[in-house]
Amino acid sequence: MRISAETPKRGNPTLLVGLVVVSLILVTVYYREGDTGPLHRMRDGVLAVSAPLARLGDAIASPFEAAGDWVSGIGVRREELDSLSEQNEELRARLAELEEARQENERLRELVEFAEERQLTKLGARVIGKPATPWEGALLIDRGSADGVEPGMPVLAAQGLVGQVYEVSERVAKVRLLTDQRSGVAAMVQSSRVPGVVQGSVEGALTLEFVAADTAPVVGDVVITSGLGGVYPKGLVIGDVTSVTERRGELFPRIDVVSRIDIDQLEEVLILLGTVSQDEASGGDVE
């Protein structure tokens, strides 16, 4: 049995040569003729006809190209976002540190100015422990006997008197607050100079005692230390009178006083190591 194999047809070389020759002739004519030549006009006509189709093709393809660019750029943008987010967190942390330093500098400046105005020998300290309940009338500060701190030394803030050191270790001291029930301060009303004693209480309230009704202060009067007894310098602000109430059968009215110091916000204090003479450090007209 014979299997016939078809012989593959070969292209016509004469046609190929002819096409090449025609192409060369057209190229030569195109470059030699002017812009108004027939080949140039033919090209312009073809471009005019095909331009709308090209624009339509670009319009159809552009969304797909944009989508491809977006997909390929997701990884890069994600890395950029992560980097920017990390930088933002670092900047926020740094800003918080700078703000904390600014506030601390402001508080310390007020303390220093307060002490210098009264020519007080002072030692700065940080509050490292605060009362956990209203009935605990003591603070812990980071100064002790190694710094020259002794029991009995007054402790101040820029707003006025805080209390008195009552227990000291080498590096830490305890301060009894004015509001403690065991505290008592020789005081006077700033405007009238009427003397009295400011006492604390179990609930942490301050009262001005031993002031007669006919010499009682009015709401808003400032109460300051009188300097009597030699424990506290004269003229330190204790607080402001908030109420004056007559008490039936009592010789003296109840005079409530509120300290200007917010213990919850207190972070730095001054310990008075000594003072100049009482006359020089009187500071009696504190507002």
Identify the pLDDT of residue 287: 39
Identify the pLDDT of residue 273: 86
Q: Check residues 201 and 24 and name the one with the higher pLDDT.
A: 201
The reply to whether 55 falls in a domain is: yes
Is 56 a residue whose pLDDT tops 50?
yes
Binned at pLDDT 50, 70 and 90, residue 284 comes out as: very low
Residues 104 and 187 in one domain: no
Identify the pLDDT of residue 107: 58
Residues 218 and 248 in one domain: yes
Residues 56 and 183 in one domain: no
Binned at pLDDT 50, 70 and 90, residue 85 comes out as: confident
Binned at pLDDT 50, 70 and 90, residue 214 comes out as: very high
Domain residue limits at 129: 118-275
Q: Find, among 238, 217, 236, the residue nearest to 227 by Cα.
A: 236
Give residue for tokens 């900047």. 91
Residues 269 and 142 in one domain: yes
Measured between alpha carbons, how far is 187 from 194 in angstroms, rounded to an integer?
A: 9
Residues 89 and 155 in one domain: no
Measured between alpha carbons, how far is 129 from 142 in angstroms, rounded to an integer?
A: 9
Give residue for tokens 């002794």. 150
Is 276 a residue whose pLDDT tops 50?
no
Most confidently modeled range among 21-35, 47-61, 237-251: 237-251
The reply to whether 287 falls in a domain is: no
Min mean pLDDT across 49-63, 83-97, 141-155, 195-209 is at 49-63
Domain's final residue, options 116, 141, 161: 116
Is 75 a residue whose pLDDT tops 70?
no
The reply to whether 141 falls in a domain is: yes
Domain's final residue, options 116, 132, 157: 116
Any residues with CB less than 8 A from the CB of 218 and at least 6 apart, and which? 241, 244
Residues 192 and 207 in one domain: yes
What is the three-class DSSP state of 88?
helix
The reply to whether 10 falls in a domain is: no
Domain's final residue, options 58, 85, 116: 116
Q: Find, among 144, 154, 151, 176, the residue nearest to 231 by Cα.
A: 154
Average pLDDT of the segment spanning 172-188:
95
The reply to whether 11 falls in a domain is: no
Query: For residues 138 and 131, is the Cβ–Cβ distance under 8 A?
Result: yes
Residues 112 and 247 in one domain: no
Residues 64 and 163 in one domain: no
Measured between alpha carbons, how far is 254 from 252 in angstroms, rounded to an integer?
A: 7
b (16+ CB within 10 A) / e for 190-226: beeebebbbbbeeebbbbbeebeeeebbeeebbbbbb
Measured between alpha carbons, how far is 274 from 153 in angstroms, rounded to an integer?
A: 8
**Amino acid (1-letter code) at residue 147:** D
